Amino acid sequence: MSEPDKFEDDLLYAITRTGEGFRTEQSDLVAGGYQRGRRRWRRRSTVAVVGGAAALALVGTGAVYLTGSSPSSTATVSAAAAPSTAGGAGSATGSATPASASSASAAPAVTGDEVLAAFQALLPKGETTEAKGRGTNDGPAKGTFAGADLVFDDGHGKSLLQIGIQKHRKGQTQDRSCPDPKINRIDSCAVTTLADGSKLFLSQGYEYPDGRATTKEWLAVLTGPDGREIMMSEWNAAQEKGSPDSRPNPPLTLDQLKAVVTDKSWDRIVAALQPDGVDNSQQDPGLSLDDRKAVLAKLLPAGVTVTKIDGNEVLAEVQLAQGTTTGSLLLRVQKLVQQPGDPTTEKLFEGATVLPEGGRLKLYGPGTSNPKNQQMADLLRGDLRVMAAQGSTGKPLLTLDQLKAIATSPEWKLKK
C-alpha cells in the first residue's frame, strides 16, 4: 500500500464518524496509541472518503488506543473461561447496562490497574506477562478511553490480548459491518443485535487482510445504546505484527470473546468515561438540514440539484444530480468554539488566502498536496467555518471554483 493510500486509510474513521468535529484536544493524541488503533477503525463501514491534505481540515476525533501506563507485571489468572455473569457466554442475549448520561462526569475515575484487573478476571486460566492498563484518569485521552493489553499463555503458546473501552455521544456510534471476503481475507464474521439493543460484532480474521502473513486476529466489538464501545482483539502471536505465530489460533473462542465484552463488570468503567468526539450542540450554527438545503439550492450551478441530504448539526452529506448523472457533496457549517488565536485553528488555516472581507480560505485539489485530488474549499470567517468538499459517491459534479463559491457565499450565517 502506498503512503498516500495509507494516509487516506488512517483517516477513514475520523472522516466518516458522524460526530467528527474540530477541537483542540486532538493535539494531545498519543501518536503510538493512534498508530495501534487506526487499523481497527479502518475496518468500519465507511460512507465517505476525502483523502490527502484535505483530511487535515476534517479530522476532529479519533480512537485513542492503549499505549500502556502501568508497570509490566506477571500474574496467574484463574477466572472461569466463560464468565457466568449476565451477558456472558452462557447468555443467549447478552446485556450491557446503560450508564446514565450524567454519570460520566460524576462517576469516580478508574485507574489503569483497575481496568487491567477487570480484564484479567474475565480470562481463562493462564499466565499473563507484559500487562499494562490505562484508566480514565490518564491525561492524554482526557478520560475518553480506558483499556488494557497483555501477553497471555494458557499452556499452548503466547497470545497478545487487547481491550479498549470508549463511550460515544448520542448518534455518533458507527455500526460495523462484515467486510467483503473477496477483498479481505476472513474466516468468519457476524453482526447480531442483543436483547437490549446492543450490537455485537464477532470476526475471525487476519492481521493482514490481504493474506501477506498467517497471523490471525480475532475480534469482538460491543456497541451499546448508551454509547459504549468495548473492543477486544486477540492474536495467535505474542505481538500484533512482526512476531512469528506461536499457536494455530488465538486462545479464546468467539463465545469467550463475547463473554468478555458483554460482561457487566465494564459498567463502572463506562460510567467513568467521558464521551469522545465533539459535542455538536456546542458547534451547531443553528441551521437545520432543510436550512442548508435551501441555501445550497441558491448556490449550486444551473442544472445541479439536491436529491437528498443527511447528517447532523455540523456535517451533512448531500446527494446531487445533474440530469441522469449523480454525485455527492460533503458540507460542513459550524460555529467554532475556540478562542481567537487558538493554535489548532491557526495551524489548520496556515497559509490560507485572506479574503477582502477578512475571511480565510484554503483550497485543496489538483496541484496541491492532495494525493488523490479530492477537491475541497474550507473557509473561516469569524467564528463561522464552512467547508464544501467533493463527496465519494457518484461522479464529481462540481469544480473547485464551484466549491469555493459555495464555501465563501455570504448566504451562510450563524443563527446561534
Do 388 and 292 share a structural domain? yes
157 within a domain of the structure (yes/no): yes
415 lies in a domain?
A: no
Q: Is 351 exposed, middle or buried (0-12, 13-18, 19+ CB in 10 A)?
A: exposed
CB atoms under 10 Å from CB of 105, counted, come to 10
Q: Tell me: do 239 and 350 sit in the same domain.
A: no
- Please tell me whether residues 226 and 249 are part of one structural domain: yes
- Domain end (from 272, 302, 329): 272
- CB of 204 closer than 8 Å to CB of 305: no
226 DSSP 8-state letter:
T
Q: Where are the beta strands (DSSP E) in 196-354?
A: 199-206, 216-223, 228-235, 305-311, 315-322, 325-335, 353-354
How many separate domains does the chain show? 2
Q: For position 150, what pLDDT does the model report?
A: 96
CA 146/CA 33 separation, integer angstroms: 12
Supply the pLDDT for residue 370.
Answer: 53
Note whether 148 and 115 are within 8 A (CB): yes
Q: Are both 389 and 253 inside the same structural domain?
A: no
172 and 75 part of one domain: yes
Q: Would residue 307 count as lying in a domain?
A: yes
Backbone angles phi, psi at 244, to 5 degrees: -65, 150
Query: What per-residue confidence (pLDDT) applies to 48?
Result: 26
**Which of 272, 293, 308 represents a domain boundary (last residue)?**
272
In whole angstroms, give the CA distance from residue 374 to residue 364. 7
Which helix (DSSP H) or strand (DSSP E) does residue 114 occupy?
helix 112-121
For 385, the domain range is 280-408
Residues 76, 217, single domain; the answer is yes
Amino acid 157 reads G
Instruction: Walk along the chain (416 residues) in steps of 10 and give the mean pLDDT of each run.
Output: 37 35 31 34 29 35 30 36 32 35 60 96 95 87 90 96 91 80 90 95 91 91 93 94 90 97 96 79 82 94 94 88 94 81 81 90 74 80 91 90 95 86
Residues 235 and 310 placed together within one structural domain of the fold: no
Give me the pLDDT at residue 277, please: 65
Q: What's the confidence (pLDDT) of residue 339?
A: 66
Specify the pLDDT at position 25: 31
Domain finish residue from 237, 252, 272: 272
Pair 299, 353 in one domain: yes
Count of H-run helices and E-run strands, the chain: 11, 15
Domain annotation covers residue 300: yes
Give the strand order in the sheet containing 228-235.
Answer: 75-77, 126-134, 146-153, 158-167, 228-235, 216-223, 199-206, 186-193
Residue 249 and residue 143 share a domain: yes
Please indicate, yes or no, whether residues 310 and 378 belong to a single structural domain of this protein: yes
Does a structural domain hold residue 10? no
Rounded-to-integer distance, Cα 288 and Cα 294, Å: 10
Q: What is the pLDDT of residue 36?
A: 38
